[in-house]
Amino acid sequence: MALFGLFKSSKTVVVVDGVSLNENLGMKGKIPPRNQLQLLRRLSSFAQREKLDIVVVLTGSPLHKAPARKKFEAITVVYSKSPEAHAGYVVKTARSKGSGAILISGNASVEKKAGSGMQKMRVSTFRKAFDAGGSDIDTSERGGGNRSSRKRPSRRRSQKKTGEKNPEPPPKESSDADAINELIDLVD
């Protein structure tokens, strides 16, 4: 899905507010490094697929596998010092990339600080293209996952839970073949 076809030029840099993207994906608060790396890998494959220059702004201390201001696969990762300073740092990073930068955020304070002179896109719109590439994020850690992977309790287990010892077998349905066999004498 070429969502960024409208913005394509040789100078286009997409600055992604990683905190907003994580929140939009359902991960809030302190996110484990494993999940952050999975998100960065997804963004990297998205950048390669769409042929984009992406800068991701996360908060906190840099990850060992994704050091600050270095390339992580096909994207650049930078870090704000704290959640309080994050909004300002995202805008500062986007402005440093020039007039061709596109800011991706779902944070109202980030959008307000960026002003009207910068191209912006909501995280929810960005996710339409981003999610089309598939999901590698392990949702089991946050209680997600698809319904088919959740196991339902078997009937036997649910009967034990209710205290029922010997349930009655279901009534046997008579078929047409049983009715015919009753009408004729079968010879062995």
pLDDT value of position 43: 95
Q: pLDDT category, 170, cuts 50, 70, 90?
A: low
Residue recorded with tokens 């996360």: 58
Distance CA(109)–CA(85), nearest Å, equals 11
pTM of the model: 0.66
pLDDT value of position 116: 85
The region of weakest confidence among 83-87, 96-100, 132-136, 157-161 is 157-161
More confident position, 139 or 104: 104
pLDDT tens-place string over residues 2-52: 555 545 555 689 999 999 999 999 998 888 999 999 999 999 999 998 889
Mean pLDDT of 124-153: 57
Instruction: Answer whether residue 59 shows pLDDT above 80.
Output: yes
Q: Which CATH number fits domain 24-131: 3.40.50, 3.30.160, 1.20.120, 1.10.3470?
A: 3.40.50
| Domain map (residue ranges) of the chain | 24-131
Retrieve residue 166's tokens: 């010997």
More confident position, 140 or 154: 154
Query: Which DSSP helix (H) or strand (E) runs through 35?
Result: helix 33-50
Distance CA(10)–CA(42), nearest Å, equals 23
pLDDT tens-place string over residues 80-127: 999 999 999 999 999 999 888 999 999 999 999 998 888 999 999 999
pLDDT value of position 18: 94
Distance CA(181)–CA(188), nearest Å, equals 13
pLDDT value of position 171: 57
Q: Of 45-49, 132-136, 154-158, 170-174, which has the strongest mean pLDDT? A: 45-49
* Beta pairing class for 53-59 and 75-80: parallel
Instruction: Answer whether residue 54 shows pLDDT above 90.
Output: yes
pLDDT value of position 162: 52
